[in-house]
Amino acid sequence: MCGEGTRCTGKGTSSLVPLSPINFVIPSGVFCREESAFSSEPMFALAQTPMANTQIAFLFPGQGSQTVGMGKNLAEKFPVARRIFEEADAALGYELSKLCFEGPEDQLRLTEITQPAILTASVAAWRALDEKGMKAVFVAGHSLGEYSAHVAAGTIAFADAVRTVRNRGKYMQEAVPVGTGAMAAILGLTLEKVTAICSEAAQGEVCEPANINSAEQIVISGHKNAVERAAKLASDRGAKRAVLLPVSAPFHCSLMKPAQDRLAADLKSLHFRNPAMPVACNVDAELINHAERSRDALVRQVTGSVKWEPSMRLLIASGVQTFIEVGPGKVLCGLMRQIDRSKTCLNVADEASLYKTIDQLAGMKV
- Backbone φ and ψ for 198, nearest 5 degrees, come out as -60, -45
Is 42 part of any domain? Answer: no
CATH of the domain at 200: 3.30.70.250
**Between helices 158-174 and 111-131, what is the axis angle to 10°?**
150
Please state, for a pLDDT cut of 70, what percent of the chain lies above it: 85
- The catalytic position among 221, 235, 252, 305 is 252
Q: For residues 223 and 343, state if they share a domain.
A: no
- The catalytic position among 143, 294, 305, 353 is 143
- The residue that leads in pLDDT, 91 or 50, is 91
Band of the pLDDT at 365, cuts 50, 70, 90?
low
Count of CB atoms situated within 10 Å of the CB of 162: 25
Please state, for a pLDDT cut of 90, what percent of the chain lies above it: 77
Q: For residues 156 and 198, state if they share a domain.
A: no
**What's the rounded mean pLDDT across residues 292-321?**
97
Say how many Å lie between the first and final Cα of the chain, rounded.
31
Asked if the model's pLDDT at residue 15 lies above 50, the reply is no
Band of the pLDDT at 39, cuts 50, 70, 90?
very low
- Domain containing 2: what range? 1-33+179-247
How far apart (Å, rounded) are the C-alpha atoms in residues 255 and 123?
A: 30
Bridge partners of 324, per DSSP, are 58, 346
User: How is 32-75 classified by DSSP, letter by letter?
Assistant: --------SS--------TT-SS-EEEEE--TT---TTTTHHHH
Specify whether 271 is catalytic. Answer: no
At 187 the pLDDT is 96
Asked if the model's pLDDT at residue 16 lies above 50, the reply is no
At 7 the pLDDT is 27
Please state which of the ranges 13-27, 136-150, 243-257, 324-338 shows the lowest mean pLDDT: 13-27
- The residue that leads in pLDDT, 288 or 4, is 288
Specify whether 143 is catalytic. Answer: yes
Contact 63, 251 (CB under 8 A): no
Q: For residues 133 and 265, state if they share a domain.
A: yes
Q: Which range in 57-66, 206-215, 238-247 is most confidently predicted, on average pLDDT?
A: 206-215
Q: For residues 100 and 149, state if they share a domain.
A: yes
Asked if the model's pLDDT at residue 239 lies above 60, the reply is yes
Mean pLDDT of all residues belonging to the chain: 87
CA atoms within 13 A on the CB side of 85: 24
How many domains are there within the chain?
A: 2
What number of residues does the chain have? Answer: 366
Q: Which of 214, 247, 280 is the last residue of a domain?
A: 247
